[in-house]
Copies of this chain bind each other. A is one copy, B any other.
């Protein structure tokens, strides 16, 4: 990995030079690019850029504002925050960066045969997925937290899509069994966006796993089983040696994962009308 970095950065680092030639210094161009990727508050921007100093960002935004590339206005939802957006000119500038960068990449890969290019793309995609997977953090949050709400929103939307029925979103976070002291809700996040979630709660003297969800783009990266191990550890911490869960036949990937993780089929233990399969695992 380190060898790769050295050699890759030396060659492809030049890709970032394409940010130059835009008349903007690298840092400022990076901000402009990030805004174009998705407008939002200054705060979001700072996080996405890896925690830059607020003063530093503010100054760069001022530069972009006087150049007429962005507008900055107070967030109606919270007057302390400010929303940043590209102007027409800013969008033009952004497209320009994009084009230049694309061009540079093409030029770099020009000497390769199409087959080699495909191999490279595949290798980079694999590496990207894995590196991103490695940098995911699993954190306990209150189910009423926006992150948890977003994750559960995806969860219910997907259930709706796949099973053809809609689940009311009235009471996502109101289930007290998913909050301490009777349960715990976890969200796995990548770059501040939820990519997986799951909860453990107490149920009839055992622990039960609920709301297990993995972003479709992330399936196959081992995220599900990592989260599962996390939930099992939490079940132990809550004082339980047995975990149960229910799921539905169409979710064959999930069922496979539970089986690989050592879960065994049991009889129906609840009256969930949507569940068809029931599992159990002894911990420790």
- Which of A59-67, A117-125, A168-176 lies on the face that meets chain B? A117-125
Q: How far does the Cβ of A184 sit from chain B's closest Cβ, in whole Å? A: 20
Known contacts A1-B105, A12-B5, A136-B111; A123/B119 CB under 8 A: no
**CB atoms of A3 and B128 under 8 A apart:** yes
Question: Quick one: which of B3, B15, B116 contacts A2, CB cutoff 8 A?
Answer: B15
Q: How far is the CA of A9 from the CA of B111 in the complex (A)?
A: 24
Give chain B residues whose Cβ lies under 8 Å from the Cβ of A101.
Answer: 2
Interface readout for A35-48 with B: 1 if CB under 8 Å, 0 if not? 00000000000000
Name the 3 nearest CB pairs between A and B, nearest first.
A123-B126, A4-B124, A123-B127
Total copies of this chain within the assembly: 2
A77 within 8 A of B: no
Interface readout for A100-144 with B: 1 if CB under 8 Å, 0 if not? 011001001111110010011101111110111111100000000
**CB atoms of A112 and B130 under 8 A apart:** yes
Give chain B residues whose Cβ lies under 8 Å from the Cβ of A4.
Answer: 124-125, 127-128
Give chain B residues whose Cβ lies under 8 Å from the Cβ of A116.
Answer: 130, 133, 221-222
Q: Which A169-208 residues have a C-beta within 8 angstroms of B?
A: 191
Give chain B residues whose Cβ lies under 8 Å from the Cβ of A127.
Answer: 4, 8, 120, 123-124, 127
Q: How far does the Cβ of A96 sit from chain B's closest Cβ, in whole Å? A: 15
Give chain B residues whose Cβ lies under 8 Å from the Cβ of A50.
Answer: 10
Q: Which A62-92 residues have a C-beta within 8 angstroms of B?
A: none
Known contacts A8-B128, A15-B5, A222-B116; A108/B123 CB under 8 A: no
Question: Quick one: which of B12, B111, B130 contacts A120, CB cutoff 8 A?
Answer: B130
Number of interface residues of A (CB under 8 A): 44
Q: How far does the Cβ of A82 sit from chain B's closest Cβ, in whole Å? A: 23
Q: How far is the CA of A5 from the CA of B2 in the complex (A)?
A: 15
Q: How far does the Cβ of A95 sit from chain B's closest Cβ, in whole Å? A: 14
Q: How far is the CA of A221 from the CA of B3 in the complex (A)?
A: 18
Q: Which residue, A1, A50, A123, A226, has most C-beta atoms of chain B within 10 A? A: A1
Give chain B residues whose Cβ lies under 8 Å from the Cβ of A9.
Answer: 9, 16
Q: What are some 29 contacts across the A-B interface (CB < 8 A)?
A: A1-B12, A1-B109, A1-B121, A1-B124, A2-B101, A4-B124, A4-B127, A4-B128, A5-B16, A7-B132, A8-B131, A9-B9, A9-B16, A10-B191, A11-B131, A12-B131, A108-B131, A108-B135, A111-B134, A111-B135, A111-B136, A116-B133, A116-B221, A120-B127, A120-B130, A123-B124, A123-B126, A123-B127, A123-B130
